[in-house]
């Protein structure tokens, strides 16, 4: 499963996004926007920009989110634009909720009508509203990376290509991001496999089979949410026109993280008036593996003639010495918009750069420095250790543990990816959508209920062989020769008849299936797993409370809950409640800031990474992002000897 619109961590509150096509919001009267006089000249220009395309080049720590929130507030409070005509797009749930709160505070009043969402959340809701156009039910399931891997495993097995399953899935996703459809002639594409016609033929087969399997399971993957929305809008001008009339002003935060599909969606929605305001920093494009492309910012003015460009170059976060280092790092890049980061903050402590003969000595130095910083009044939660690859944390974790320094490994297993959470969410998904075969397969024998492997194989073979026969019909037939299947279906029918809240349904599932007893019996860490289930119950209950005023019944509530939680797995969402030192990759740290930052592993082959030598500018941007997370203290280190994947390696300082 997955997530996107609406959680703020495992125990956080789920926030519903405004209905995409609702048009009955009340108009706000023009009113003063609080705090305009506190903005610097560039921020004020952004806030008061009237019409037409606007590119805001905002360096790290320049208050870009503040500027875009002021722009939304000024459109409503000064220019008198109806909130329902404004669409504000972000990349994480946390950023979306922060934007809602900021706009509300600036207007000092209700925020009803403004749509603040992630790209995927917006697309998911549009596809729900127009599901007939994409040949899915309104209850379609959103598959996350684990679900996609399971479908890919089935596809590769059917094609006798298990050895290249991961490559096939990566190439299928790459094709989708290029807008290539399964029925296309892949032989005409420059995919880097021009001399591998046999592989291209296999890829074409795999793509088509993968898509048929998703349709069979009434599912979409995350890229489908973007691609199918784009195709739907291109094929159905009436739907596109309705959206354009609704959303007349588009605001995009973290624009540098957009992929080509998202950019094409923006171009469609923004036409013909192009009241599009984008805020971003090409020096922070670090998600190429998610198809983010620096060309989006570099070519904005060519794609939107007459676009206004505003440069926000003053950093308010970091000390002068840190900004000097950041400026020197990024100045070496050639493909970038001209700008120069600067700050009026004091020079502060000098940046410390230290090398070590071994990673053990580096870890000891880190731990000692952290203890010194903590003794100087910096809380552990205000300290972060960043690196290019998470495997570098092992000796550091050992040293922190020995010295009793609390820490949080942020790149650990995410809440929604935990087995016990995915199990219960699979129950909810299958209760809601009886076509979701992956969820059925996951829970058929969890807890064990006597459905044998032979029966499950028979069900799967029938599902593959008879495309016109639904999973529900196949399972009903299975009750003739397998009594446990009958009991399972009876239990599912009883759950579907539950006339209560999502929270009470989860409680009923746990009680009637004996899932908690199963955890105690099969897992030594059952208490910890049960605490995660308690957190899930807390999330569901808070959702139920938020939904109560606009409740449309238990089925509507479950549908909304699954949509919101199903959209929560994109982007990094870091829980800030722990008081420990943060250990995280640089990718996970983007958008965060800390009083003190250690960047470790500055060695050739690690940063820049050995597999990314041809993308040296992105690796340099990654280093720039790491450095600009620090407010007061910055420490850079490297080691000439490390153990990576069980093998001792030697490294040189990064050039």
- Active site (catalytic) residues: 64-65, 253-254, 284, 629
DSSP state of 60: T
CA distance 403 to 423: 37
CA distance 551 to 581: 42
Closest among 155, 92, 159 to 575, alpha carbons compared: 92
Closest among 295, 177, 187 to 230, alpha carbons compared: 177
Name the token pair of 343.
């700050």
Q: Dihedral of CA 147/152/155/158: which sign?
A: negative
CA distance 116 to 87: 6
3-state secondary structure of 378: coil
- The DSSP annotation for 65-131 comes to HHHHHHHHHHHHHTS---GGGEEEEESSHHHHHHHHHHHHHHHTS--TT-EEEEHHHHHHHHHHHTG
Each residue of 276-304: b (16+ CB within 10 Å) or e? bbbbbbbbbbbbeeebbbbebbeebeeeb
Query: Quick one: which H or E segment has residue 459?
Result: helix 453-465
CA distance 595 to 99: 24
Long-range contacts of 10-14 (CB under 8 A, 24+ apart): 10/415, 10/532, 10/535, 10/536, 10/539, 10/575, 11/535, 11/538, 11/539, 12/539, 13/539, 13/542, 13/543, 13/546, 14/539, 14/542, 14/543, 14/546, 14/561, 14/564, 14/565
Q: Name the one residue in this structure whose structure tokens are 């697309």.
A: 123
């Amino acid at each position: 499963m997955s997530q996107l619109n609406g959680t703020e961590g495992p125990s956080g509150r789920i926030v519903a996004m405004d209905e995409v096509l609702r048009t009955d919001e009340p108009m706000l009267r023009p009113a003063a926007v609080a705090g305009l006089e506190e903005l610097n000249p560039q921020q004020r220009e952004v806030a008061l920009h009237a019409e037409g395309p606007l590119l805001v080049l905002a360096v790290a720590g320049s208050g870009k989110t503040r500027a875009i929130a002021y722009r939304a507030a000024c459109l409503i409070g000064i220019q008198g634009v109806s909130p329902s005509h404004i669409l504000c797009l972000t990349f994480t749930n946390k950023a979306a909720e922060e934007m809602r709160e900021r706009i509300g505070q600036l207007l000092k009043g209700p925020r009803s009508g403004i749509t603040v969402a992630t790209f995927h959340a917006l697309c998911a809701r549009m596809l729900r509203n127009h599901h007939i156009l994409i040949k899915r039910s309104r209850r379609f399931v959103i598959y996350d990376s684990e679900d996609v891997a399971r479908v890919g495993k089935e596809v590769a097995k059917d094609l006798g290509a298990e050895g290249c399953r991961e490559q096939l899935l990566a190439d299928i996703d790459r094709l989708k991001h290029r807008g290539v459809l399964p029925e296309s002639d892949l032989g005409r594409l420059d995919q880097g496999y021009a001399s591998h016609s046999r592989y291209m033929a296999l890829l074409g087969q795999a793509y088509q089979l993968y898509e048929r399997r998703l349709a069979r399971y009434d599912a979409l993957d995350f890229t489908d949410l973007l691609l199918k929305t784009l195709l739907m809008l291109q094929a159905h001008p009436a739907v596109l026109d309705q959206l354009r009339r609704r959303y007349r002003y588009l605001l995009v935060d973290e624009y540098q993280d957009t992929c080509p599909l998202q950019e094409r969606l923006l171009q469609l929605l923004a036409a013909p008036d192009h009241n599009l305001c984008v805020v971003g920093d090409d020096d922070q494009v670090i998600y190429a593996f998610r198809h983010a492309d620096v060309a989006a910012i570099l070519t904005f003015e060519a794609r939107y003639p007459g676009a206004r460009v505003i440069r926000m170059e003053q950093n308010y976060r970091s000390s002068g010495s840190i900004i000097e280092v950041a400026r020197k790092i990024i100045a070496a890049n050639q493909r970038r918009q001209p700008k120069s980061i600067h700050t009026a903050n004091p020079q502060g402590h000098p940046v410390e750069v230290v090398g070590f003969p071994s990673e053990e000595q580096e870890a000891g130095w880190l731990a000692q420095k952290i203890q010194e910083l903590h003794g100087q009044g910096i809380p552990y939660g205000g300290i972060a250790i960043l690196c290019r690859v998470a495997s570098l944390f092992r000796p550091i974790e050992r040293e922190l543990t020995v010295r009793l320094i609390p820490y949080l490994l942020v790149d650990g297993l995410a809440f929604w990816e935990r087995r016990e959470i995915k199990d219960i969410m699979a129950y909810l998904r299958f209760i809601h959508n009886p076509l979701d075969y992956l969820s059925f397969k996951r829970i058929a024998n969890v807890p064990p209920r006597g459905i044998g492997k032979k029966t499950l194989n028979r069900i799967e073979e029938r599902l593959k062989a008879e495309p016109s026969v639904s999973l529900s019909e196949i399972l009903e037939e299975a009750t003739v020769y397998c009594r446990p299947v009958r009991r399972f279906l009876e239990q599912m029918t009883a759950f579907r008849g539950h006339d209560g809240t999502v929270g009470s349904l989860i409680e009923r599932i746990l009680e009637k299936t004996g899932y908690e007893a199963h955890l105690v019996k099969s897992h030594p860490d059952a208490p910890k797993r049960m605490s995660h289930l308690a957190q899930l119950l807390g999330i569901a209950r808070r959702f139920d409370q938020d939904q109560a005023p606009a409740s449309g019944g238990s089925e509507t509530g479950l549908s909304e809950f699954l949509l919101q939680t199903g959209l929560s797995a994109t982007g990094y969402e870091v829980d800030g409640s722990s008081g420990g030192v943060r250990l995280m990759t640089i990718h996970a740290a983007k958008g965060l800031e800390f009083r003190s930052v250690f960047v470790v592993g500055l060695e050739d082959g690690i940063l820049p990474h050995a597999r990314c030598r041809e993308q040296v500018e992105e690796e340099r941007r990654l280093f720039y992002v790491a450095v600009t997370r620090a407010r007061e203290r910055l420490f850079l280190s490297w080691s000439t000897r490390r153990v990576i994947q069980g093998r001792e390696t030697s490294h040189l300082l990064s050039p």
